[in-house]
Amino acid sequence: MMATVLSANPIVREKESGTLEQFYMTPVRRFEVIIGKMIPYVVQAALDSMPDIFRAISYFIPTTWLIDESRGIILRGTDWSTLWQHAAALWLMAIVVTIIGAVRMRKQLV
């Protein structure tokens, strides 16, 4: 319910600024526009209500680091002094997975 109410604001702002009419010229249906505006709020609500254990587990998934790094570059223009931590975490995960894969492959060949 809250996602519906929160997504109404951007739609109203686009209607006021005249950019909503640009969607009428595209093959996108009205339903798809509304769903596209709602998805970020639904995801945010899910993340806010995520139990702490799952939030802790998410730090072991490379996508978590990659999305946060991409968001920093695209939205905030973050520089290397902040992004080195994300790069280090991703490199560490890559090295660990490569080592595990090499060890498992060696065990299968023997």
> How far apart are alpha carbons 42 and 19 in whole angstroms?
23
9-13, 56-60, 94-98, 105-109: which range is least confident on average?
A: 105-109
> How far apart are alpha carbons 84 and 90 in whole angstroms?
10
Q: Domain limits of the chain?
A: 1-49, 51-110
21-40: average pLDDT: 81
Instruction: Quick: pLDDT tens for 67-78.
Output: 888 888 887 888
> Cα Rg for the chain, rounded, in angstroms?
21
Tokens linked to 84: 């080195």
Per cent of the chain over pLDDT 90 is 13
> How far apart are alpha carbons 39 and 109 in whole angstroms?
47
- Candidates 46, 75, 73; CA nearest to 58 is 46
Instruction: Quick: pLDDT tens for 36-60.
Output: 878 877 777 777 777 888 888 888 8
> How far apart are alpha carbons 12 and 81 in whole angstroms?
38
17-21, 25-29, 40-44: which range is least confident on average?
A: 40-44
